[in-house]
């Protein structure tokens, strides 16, 4: 049994690292580094400053979306920095610890439960997938022949739509679901003592979807965050290739979002660059040019998200290593809640 656990843990590490390693190798073998350096020198510092401002506005809107999904149970400032802490953990450590980190951080506030936090993150992720699929489908006809197999994108969009419908139904009929579980729990200790509390907390996280105004605020702010991200990418690529079509950024960034969902090393290292280079290749952009754009945009997101996360930990008086230990152990409070 112990050997199987060790093997399972090794596989959990080796699979994403192998995928990232393969992606990095495939890219680097095609790169002419002197040309890459020449392209890198084209990006002006003024562009980086403006792109930085746009990044933080885009991030603030994304944090506002999550703040609304949390039903304003915590201050916007807490949501802003807690999201950064989640990104920090995802960027440095494997296994998507960031989502658990958000729950651990907000669990200390006593105003929301871990399962409410998890359910709000689920809704946020579904919104993200829905928007990414919608954006990429909107530009595919411009670059691909009518015979191109769009199956994977359509499946992702369909699953996101189904997910939204299911969440809306759960939010609308959450009281009936709770009553049904209560009746069912009379005949099962497992349902009464374990399942019912979990579902009750999770349904509270979905409740915001039953409020049209809150839904529009959350979804609209996330959509606007995406638009600003397109603008930031356009500014950077405009230094590399003057006056590119704006829809190129819609396609490349949306494809990059799907690539980030693949198993990989922390921060999507290698996989993000590979997907971006591949997306640009469909547009006829050279490997060195595409790789330069991927490196700059990825580095910007990595550095700024980690900076916000470190500030968030500092404001809470937390050290990264000790907080990571709490996340891995999922803390006594979360274990009790679950």
In a domain, 74, yes or no: yes
d(CA 256, CA 273): 8
d(CA 167, CA 124): 12
In a domain, 22, yes or no: no
In a domain, 15, yes or no: no
Domain that holds residue 269: 39-170+206-337
pTM: 0.82
Both tokens assigned to 172: 């609308």
Number of helices (H), then strands (E), belonging to the chain: the values are: 16, 0
In a domain, 12, yes or no: no
Is residue 1 helix, strand or coil? Answer: coil
In a domain, 8, yes or no: no
* Backbone dihedral angles phi then psi of residue 232, each to the nearest 5 degrees: -60, -45
In a domain, 176, yes or no: no
State the 10-residue block means of pLDDT for the chain, 338 residues long. Answer: 55 67 78 90 95 97 94 92 93 79 78 79 83 82 60 68 75 71 64 60 68 88 96 95 91 84 68 89 90 94 94 89 80 42
Which of 7, 28, 45 has its CA nearest to residue 269? 28
Which of 260, 229, 234, 232 has its CA nearest to residue 247? 234
Number of structural domains (the chain) is 1
In a domain, 47, yes or no: yes
Both tokens assigned to 198: 């979990």
Q: What angle do CA 215, 226, 127 make, to 5 degrees?
A: 40
- Count the Cβ atoms, other than its own, within 10 Å of residue 234: 19
In a domain, 3, yes or no: no
Both tokens assigned to 337: 């809640």
Which of 285, 288, 274 has its CA nearest to residue 248? 285
The string of DSSP codes covering 232-278 is HHHHHHHHHSSS--HHHHHHHHHHHHHHHTSS-SGGGTTHHHHHHHH
* Torsion angle in degrees (nearest 10) through CA of 301, 304, 306, 307: 180
pLDDT of residue 335: 40
Spatial contact of 115 and 338, defined as CB atoms under 8 Å apart: yes
86 contact partners, CB below 8 Å, separation of at least 6:
98, 99, 101, 102, 105, 309
């Amino acid at each position: 049994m112990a050997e199987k656990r060790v093997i399972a843990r090794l596989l959990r590490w080796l699979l994403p690292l192998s995928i990232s390693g393969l992606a990095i190798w495939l890219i680097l073998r095609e790169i002419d580094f002197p040309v890459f350096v020449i392209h890198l020198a084209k990006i002006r510092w003024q562009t980086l400053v403006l792109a930085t401002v746009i990044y933080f506005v885009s991030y603030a809107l994304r944090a506002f979306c999550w703040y609304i999904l949390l039903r304003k149970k915590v201050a916007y400032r807490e949501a802003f920095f807690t999201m950064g802490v989640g990104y920090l953990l995802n960027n440095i450590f494997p296994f998507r610890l960031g989502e658990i980190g958000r729950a651990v951080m907000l669990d200390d506030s006593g105003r929301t439960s871990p399962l409410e936090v998890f359910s709000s993150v689920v809704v946020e992720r579904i919104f993200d997938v829905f928007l990414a699929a919608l954006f990429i489908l909107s530009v595919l006809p411009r670059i691909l022949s009518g015979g191109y197999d769009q199956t994977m994108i359509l499946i992702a969009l369909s699953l996101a739509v189904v997910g939204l419908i299911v969440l809306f139904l759960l939010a609308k009929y959450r009281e009936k679901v709770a009553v049904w579980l209560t009746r069912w729990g009379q005949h099962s200790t497992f349902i009464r003592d374990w399942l019912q509390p979990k579902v009750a907390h999770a349904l509270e996280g979905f409740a915001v979807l039953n409020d049209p105004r809150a839904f529009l605020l959350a979804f609209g702010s996330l959509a606007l965050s995406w638009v600003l991200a397109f603008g930031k990418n356009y500014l950077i690529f405009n230094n590399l290739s003057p006056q590119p079509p704006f829809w190129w950024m819609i396609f490349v960034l949306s494809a990059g979002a799907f690539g980030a969902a693949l198993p990989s090393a922390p921060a999507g290292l290698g996989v993000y660059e590979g997907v971006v280079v591949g997306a640009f290749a469909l547009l006829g952009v050279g490997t060195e040019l595409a790789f330069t754009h991927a490196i700059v945009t990825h580095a910007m997101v990595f550095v700024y998200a980690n900076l916000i996360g470190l500030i968030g930990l500092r404001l809470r008086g937390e050290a990264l290593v000790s907080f990571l230990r709490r996340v891995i152990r999922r803390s006594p409070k979360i274990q009790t809640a679950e």
